[in-house]
Amino acid sequence: MRGVMLLVLPIAVIFSTCKAVEFYSIGGIFGDGPPPNPERMIFVQSAIRNNIRSNSSAFRPFHAAARLQHTKLANNAAVLRKMCVLLAYNVSLIVGVADFDVVNMVATTSQKIQLPFITPSFALKESFPDMEFDYVVSLRPSLVQPLLDMLEYNRWKQFAYIYDGKRGMRRADTFMQIFSRYDYDVIFKHLLTEEPITETLKNMRDSGRHHIIFDLSLDASENALRKLQANDLGMVTASYHYIFMDLDIGEIDMNQFQLGGLNLTGFRLLDKDSDAYQDFILDWRSYVKNSSYIEVDTNYFHLSNPAISVDMMDVALEALDMFRLDSRGSVRKKERALSCNLGTSYAPVPNRDGPKLIEIIKKVKLQGLTGNIEFDSRGDRTNYSVQILGLRQTGLEKVGTWNGQNENRLTFDTFTEDESPADAMSGRIYTVTSILSPPFLMLKKDADQRRGIDKYEGYCVDLLEEIVKVYKSKHSIFRYKIKLVADGEYGAQMENGKWNGMIGELIYGKADIAVAPLTINVQRERMVGFTKPFMSLGVSIMIKKPQDNQPGVFTFMQPLAPEIWMSIVFACIIVSVVLFQVSRFSPKEWHPVEHPPPTPSGTGEFNLNKPGERFVTEDREETENDFGIFNSLWFTVGALMQQGCELCPRSFAGRVTGSVWWFFTLILVSSYTANLAAFLTAKRMVMPISSAADLVDQTTITYGILKSGSTETFLKTSTVPVYRHMWEFMANSEDSPFANTTEEGVERVRKSNGKFAFLLESAMNDYYSQQPPCNTVRVGNLLDSKSYGIGVNKQLVDVRELVTLAILELQEQAILTRLEKKWWTSNNESCRIPNIPDHMSKTSALNLVTLAGIFYILLGGLAVALLVAGGNLFWRSRHEIIAAKSRYIEKHKARSPENKKKLPANPEAQTKGNGSHTPV
């Protein structure tokens, strides 16, 4: 008793302070077993949750005080005393577990003191079909009609009904009455505690009863299954069919048994896919996190009993809220303390609100964890549905639904996959959720004819197989089945706070592991566990591969930029002129004419029109110069073409000119040849863009992304100016740049003739660029960096650890790289063009800047040649003048004066720039 008070007091204290808020007490009667007792905890903590919620929002704006009493449930006197204690606490109603032995007492007492009693323990229709309990409302749905419908559906005539426990006994009683109305041949067998079931089963087998209904507790059901599959019984072949009545039978791991082709049917109350269930789990989880009062783990709610308890409290609170609204304005008077007046002769003082409240409770309508909650006039559940479970390859799974309100109460799901009864297997099979996304996971071409995992192929399948191998090498087993994510999403938090996609399946326990291109991010990491990443990647740009430059007629022009060609022509002319000039100044270039001149007309003049110019000295000896302007040109062109001609400069200046020109042509021709070879062998491409900045800087190419993908999130939230700019451009674009699927975006790139670029994750980009028709290409660097990891249900900590170790091992052995190569390299010949390196410039013709050096050297050489020629001329002319002077003086002294007239001719010829006329 003192322990009870200790438990009650703190709760009472919390709420006794808030006077302003309306306030009701709820009594709870629960068993006194040792903690943890989920039902007891849920009772208290549901009330606390209600109070927190009513504080922060206008939801059920009253406070509930949970008055907890625990006692020996099977003891009439003890339970009665507790009920009276609660009455004295002025509780408005009582919730609690009712033992089948004391139900009658509880029902009559609650009627006498007018306290509604809500219980999760039984269904009236199932356990007390003939009784009227005015003040009892039961939360447990009846399985009578579902079982009858299943029997009819399976056309069972001869079967056995094995039951244990008090609930089983009551239910069996009910069925005995009902079955007597049908022409069923049934054997009922009450399994006593500690009685081994093997003998019973053997009797059934020997008497030819292959159809058995097991109305056993969960543990006993599991034990029965274990015995059934054992060698000495072996009652697991295709001729056997069992129905299990426990609502949690779906939680048993069927993979631990070696079940043959038998049929198993079970019932399940909780629809873990329902909105109500998922909302509740999320909500409760956030309370567990925020409040130190609430500590019941959400794992409890996988079982039906705690879930029914949650619904029971919800019904109680909802009823009180409705009652509060209903009695608004009327003053609640309590002149006297309520009491049972135990042991006195006075009549009990009942709860005056009772009759009204019980009516209200029966009108409550809710969506709870156990589905639609509604009551009939007796206080029994109505309009509820129960899932039908069947044995499939992966365990007991939902195969249909029973709904009492439907015309066809039984509806069976249709299965596209052909599923067979469970194979003989042992150990847990993990459910892997994934998504069809090439090349990570794809359906094989002949998937219709394949089953299970064999239907799929891709990187993820191989990755899983490798993980299995790593496990095997450590003598442990990792087995899995692949289940595609139902909604085809990766997983994001929706507006209502729930998660969809693969992340949602992990959170709500529908899958154990997610192996898919699943990006690791903070929000997801909070909800599920991620392994170490198996692939790193980033957002990248995809463009259409530019047309190959097919070698054209004038391809030979391409290795050099046009300005180079122009420069070469000018250089040729300039060099020729220089050569012409320096040859003229140099006496060495002049040599005697080998043949007599054809005409005498050239005397004293230069004939520019003829190659090989002649000069006639005063003594009529003819000399000529090979480097006339045309010969010079011929010499330069010949050198440029790498062809010799018999002309050869003999003067120093001419040779300097020739050398620098030869040097120039050497370099030029080598560069040209090398570049031409590159041009002709490699298919050159001109990348219109090579980075995100290029995209932003132009307007002809539009760009887009996948709708509501991680790329969108990245661009939307980025603070980098270039990416912000991109996002603004896309957001303001009239022509929607958002693709619904990756394929759609890639198709758009392929079709839009280079006018559209698509931003997507590099793994996809690389993959599509290797897929026929191979006309897309990834350009530029990655815009960001992230990684794909394997998501694991938060509860499976050890699995996450093991898979992480496996991934690290695969990484070390370079198996991940090998897999990547396998799935990312195309088998199609036409795709085998190596990707264009990022650094490739827009055009690779040699330009002036690259070749400027040889032009400088050429100019320098020409300048040197001119200087040398000039110096030579200067020195020679001085020498000539001195010589001429001395000759003149000599002649003047020695000869007659008629020679004087000839002398000035020489200087005159020199001033015309003809060079020395001294014959060699």
Ligand X SMILES: *[C@@H]1O[C@H](CO)[C@@H](O)[C@H](O)[C@H]1NC(C)=O
User: Which residues 42-61 are close enough to bind ligand X by CB under 6 A?
Assistant: 51-52, 55
Can you tell me the distance from the alpha carbon of 306 to that of 797, in angstroms, rounded to the nearest whole number? Answer: 24
Q: What's the angle, vertex CA 366, arms to CA 362 and CA 368, rounded to 5?
A: 120
Least distance to ligand X, CB of residue 445, Å: 12
Can you tell me the distance from the alpha carbon of 802 to that of 909, in angstroms, rounded to the nearest whole number? Answer: 103
Please name which of 114, 133, 117, 132 lies closest in space to residue 340, comparing C-alpha atoms. 114
Helix-helix angle 797-812:459-473, to 10 degrees:
100
Which lies closer to ligand X via its Cβ, residue 173 or residue 297? 297
Window of 68-76, 222-230, 235-243, 726-734 that interacts with ligand X by CB under 6 A: 235-243
Least distance to ligand X, CB of residue 293, Å: 8
Binds ligand X (CB under 6 A): choice among 36, 592, 644, 773: 773
Least distance to ligand X, CB of residue 157, Å: 13
Window of 29-37, 141-149, 238-246, 247-255 that interacts with ligand X by CB under 6 A: 238-246
The separation between CA 604 and the C-alpha centre of its own chain, rounded to angstroms, equals 94
Binds ligand X (CB under 6 A): choice among 90, 104, 108, 223: 90
Which lies closer to ligand X via its Cβ, residue 411 or residue 828? 828
Q: Does 406 bind ligand X (CB under 6 A)?
A: no
Binds ligand X (CB under 6 A): choice among 772, 853, 860, 904: 772
Question: Per DSSP, which regions of 720-815 are E strands?
Answer: 738-739, 756-761, 776-779, 786-788, 791-792
Window of 237-245, 458-466, 672-680, 724-732 that interacts with ligand X by CB under 6 A: 237-245
Can you tell me the distance from the alpha carbon of 348 to that of 583, in angstroms, rounded to the nearest whole number? Answer: 142
Least distance to ligand X, CB of residue 830, Å: 4
Which string of DSSP letters, residue by residue, matches 682-735?
Answer: SPP---S--SHHHHHH-SSSEEEEETTSHHHHHHHH--SHHHHHHHHHHHT-SS
Size of the site for ligand X (CB under 6 A): 26
Token pair 């990755």 in the structure block, residue: 463
Binds ligand X (CB under 6 A): choice among 158, 177, 207, 405: 405
Token pair 């990443």 in the structure block, residue: 533
Do residues 528 and 794 touch, judged by C-beta distance below 8 A? yes
Least distance to ligand X, CB of residue 366, Å: 10
Q: Does 226 bind ligand X (CB under 6 A)?
A: no
Least distance to ligand X, CB of residue 747, Å: 10
**3-class DSSP string for 321-347:** HHHHHHCCCCCCCCCCCCECCCCCCCC
Which lies closer to ligand X via its Cβ, residue 52 or residue 616? 52
Name the closest residue to ligand X (Cβ): 772
Binds ligand X (CB under 6 A): choice among 484, 774, 796, 903: 774
Q: Does 420 bind ligand X (CB under 6 A)?
A: no
Window of 116-124, 284-292, 448-456, 757-765 that interacts with ligand X by CB under 6 A: 284-292
Which lies closer to ligand X via its Cβ, residue 58 or residue 553? 58
Can you tell me the distance from the alpha carbon of 678 to that of 672, in angstroms, rounded to the nearest whole number? Answer: 10
Q: Does 828 bind ligand X (CB under 6 A)?
A: yes
Can you tell me the distance from the alpha carbon of 318 to that of 557, in angstroms, rounded to the nearest whole number? Answer: 88
Q: Does 16 bind ligand X (CB under 6 A)?
A: no
Least distance to ligand X, CB of residue 200, Å: 21
Least distance to ligand X, CB of residue 648, Å: 59
Report strand pairing: 535-537 vs 786-788. antiparallel
Least distance to ligand X, CB of residue 52, Å: 5
Do residues 191 and 197 touch, judged by C-beta distance below 8 A? yes
Least distance to ligand X, CB of residue 14, Å: 6
Q: Does 258 bind ligand X (CB under 6 A)?
A: no
- DSSP class of residue 455? G
Can you tell me the distance from the alpha carbon of 288 to that of 298, in angstroms, rounded to the nearest whole number? Answer: 9
| CA within 13 Å, CB half, 863 | 6
Q: Does 411 bind ligand X (CB under 6 A)?
A: no
Do residues 496 and 490 touch, judged by C-beta distance below 8 A? no
Can you tell me the distance from the alpha carbon of 564 to that of 846, in angstroms, rounded to the nearest whole number? Answer: 8
Window of 186-194, 285-293, 476-484, 686-694 that interacts with ligand X by CB under 6 A: 285-293
Q: Does 5 bind ligand X (CB under 6 A)?
A: no
Q: Which helix (H) or strand (E) holds 450?
A: none
Which lies closer to ligand X via its Cβ, residue 8 or residue 696? 8
The separation between CA 554 and the C-alpha centre of its own chain, rounded to angstroms, equals 49
Q: Does 158 bind ligand X (CB under 6 A)?
A: no
Least distance to ligand X, CB of residue 264, Å: 9
Q: Does 9 bind ligand X (CB under 6 A)?
A: no
Q: Does 241 bind ligand X (CB under 6 A)?
A: yes
Token reading at 629: 């302007």
Which lies closer to ligand X via its Cβ, residue 145 or residue 383? 383
Question: Per DSSP, which regions of 444-556 are E strands?
Answer: 456-457, 479-484, 513-514, 529-530, 535-537, 539-544
Q: Does 237 bind ligand X (CB under 6 A)?
A: no
Least distance to ligand X, CB of residue 430, Å: 26
Do residues 471 and 802 touch, judged by C-beta distance below 8 A? yes
Can you tell me the distance from the alpha carbon of 432 to that of 512, in angstroms, rounded to the nearest whole number? Answer: 6
Phi-psi region of 268 (alpha: psi -120 to 50; beta: other; left: phi over 0): beta
Q: Does 830 bind ligand X (CB under 6 A)?
A: yes
Least distance to ligand X, CB of residue 729, Å: 19
Least distance to ligand X, CB of residue 196, Å: 26
Peptide bond into 350 cis (omega under 30): no
Q: Which residues pair with 62 in a beta bridge?
A: 22
Edge-to-edge strand order for the sheet containing 529-530?
479-484, 429-434, 513-514, 791-792, 529-530
Which lies closer to ligand X via its Cβ, residue 207 or residue 239? 239
Binds ligand X (CB under 6 A): choice among 1, 17, 346, 812: 17
Least distance to ligand X, CB of residue 334, Å: 4
Please name which of 253, 658, 618 lies closest in space to residue 422, comparing C-alpha atoms. 253
Can you tell me the distance from the alpha carbon of 649 to that of 657, in angstroms, rounded to the nearest whole number? Answer: 9
Q: Does 286 bind ligand X (CB under 6 A)?
A: yes
Binding mask of the shown chain, residues 334 to 373, with x at each position contacting ligand X by CB under 6 A: x--x----------------------------------x-
- DSSP class of residue 123? -
Amino acid at 430: Y
Q: Does 383 bind ligand X (CB under 6 A)?
A: yes
Least distance to ligand X, CB of residue 413, Å: 12
Intra-chain end-to-end CA distance of the chain, in Å: 142
Which lies closer to ligand X via its Cβ, residue 50 or residue 531? 50
**CB neighbour burial string for 143-181, b if at least 16 within 10 angstroms, e if fewer:** bbbbbebbbeeeebeebbbbbbbebbebbbbbbeeebee
Compute and round to an integer the Cα radius of gyration of the chain.
50
Which lies closer to ligand X via its Cβ, residue 382 or residue 787? 382
Binds ligand X (CB under 6 A): choice among 177, 180, 207, 239: 239
Q: Does 652 bind ligand X (CB under 6 A)?
A: no
Least distance to ligand X, CB of residue 415, Å: 11
Which lies closer to ligand X via its Cβ, residue 251 or residue 283? 283
Which lies closer to ligand X via its Cβ, residue 366 or residue 447? 366
Q: Does 740 bind ligand X (CB under 6 A)?
A: yes
Q: Does 755 bind ligand X (CB under 6 A)?
A: no
Least distance to ligand X, CB of residue 384, Å: 8
List, in sequence order, the alpha helices (H) in 557-706: 562-585, 629-640, 652-681, 692-697
Residues that bind ligand X (CB under 6 A): 17-18, 51-52, 55, 89-90, 238-239, 241, 263, 286-287, 290, 334, 337, 372, 383, 405, 740, 744, 772-774, 828, 830
